[in-house]
Structure 1
């Protein structure tokens, strides 16, 4: 059971969210859903204890409510941020495993035709850091520290190129090195799941970008080669 007395929303209230959830569930009232949206997710993608406390109920409603699916997806996509609720986040998947499986089936029914739906699926799998930052690979950049010399490396994956570089704000990305995409048979874990899902759904650009992201990059400073996804995840994965 959720102890709502400790679950404040963006206004510091502890009683409004459960009341709104009850109204939304009972009457599917648009005004209740709208107020839940701005109480659970503040501008700049800030979330609160009440946001994670509401997830279990939102996921339970997801089969019959697009609003519930959208709000739950938006919350979990914010989970990689500095919200100070990692303890609640760590408990949520264990408490809601059966509901999460149901939601995965709902989101994944047929083809994931939008990037938002794809990111929701990634979040449901618990990889909040990828859900938060994954783009359409038209103009994507990832900042990682070289594990050998600690220099900050910019990884670019987009229509203008796929490379690692040192970012200089005057001349731009310098000392570029081509990325080394992972072959499909070389992917594992979440990278393989993401790639197979994109391929299944005919998302060619997305699948290629994932292969690049889960491939390897050369550090322009020390020439060492490292796994891009491993280094990004190690710095950005939420504490559990």
Structure 2
């Protein structure tokens, strides 16, 4: 049983979230959903005890409510670092497991919000850095540091090309080198899961982008070759 008297929301209140949850459980109340989003996820992407406490009830609603699914996803995406909610989040393990299955079923239906759902599922898997940055590979850029000479390298995967380069703010991306995508059999871990999920669901552009993201790049400065995803994750994975 949640002790809501201790579950303050983004604005320091302890009474509004349980009232709002009760309202949306009775009916699809747009005004209540709007206020709940305002109280559970701060604009700077922080969550608070009431956000985590509300998660199990939101997950129960999520199979029938897109609003509940989206709000639960936003809470999970913002849980990196947990903002002092570690114990509360650990207590939501069953709800998070249920949410994982729900999101995967939704992906299999090939919905219009496929990428958003894919990113929510990455957050459920605690891959917060990929959840935050993964795009549709129409115009994606990633900044990494060469592990050999420490120069900042721009990685482009999209309509402008698939290359590594040195970004010059006057000349643009200079000294471009083509990326070397990973072959499916060489992928492992989260990269393999991401790729295979996209392929399973017929998301060819997403799968191809992931193969490039988890492939190799050549540094334009020192000509060394490195794994893009490894270097990006090393710099951007949150400290838990």
Per the shorter chain, which TM-score range? 0.7 to 0.9
Q: Is residue 86–residue 239 contact of structure 1 (8 Å, CA) maintained in 2?
A: no
Q: What TM-score do you get using the length of structure 1 for normalisation? A: 0.87
Partner of residue 189, structure 2? 189
Distance 2:106 2:94 in 1: 20
Distance 1:120 1:153 in 2: 28
Q: Is residue 177–residue 217 contact of structure 1 (8 Å, CA) maintained in 2?
A: yes
1:122 correspondence with 2:122: yes
| Distance change in 2, residues 1:31/1:88 (3 Å) | farther
Deviation at 1:3, TM superposition (A): 4.9
Q: Deviations over 1:83-109 (max 9, x none)?
A: 734736862663534423442344234
Partner of residue 208, structure 1? 208
Superposed CA RMSD in Å reads 2.4
How many residues in Structure 1 have an aligned counterpart in Structure 2? 239
**Residue pairs, 1:20-169, within 5 angstroms:** 20-80=20-80, 84-85=83-84, 87=86, 91=90, 94-113=93-112, 114-169=114-169
Distance 2:156 2:207 in 1: 16
Q: Is residue 108–residue 121 contact of structure 1 (8 Å, CA) maintained in 2?
A: no
Q: Which deviates further from its counterpart, 187-196 or 84-93?
A: 84-93
Q: What TM-score do you get using the length of structure 2 for normalisation? A: 0.87
SS at 2:165's partner residue?
strand
Q: Is residue 56–residue 99 contact of structure 1 (8 Å, CA) maintained in 2?
A: no
Distance 2:95 2:101 in 1: 10
Distance 2:25 2:31 in 1: 12
Deviation at 1:199, TM superposition (A): 1.4
Deviation at 1:170, TM superposition (A): 1.1
**Residue pairs, 1:8-19, within 5 angstroms:** 8-19=8-19
Where do 4+ consecutive residues of structure 1 move more than 6 Å?
A: none
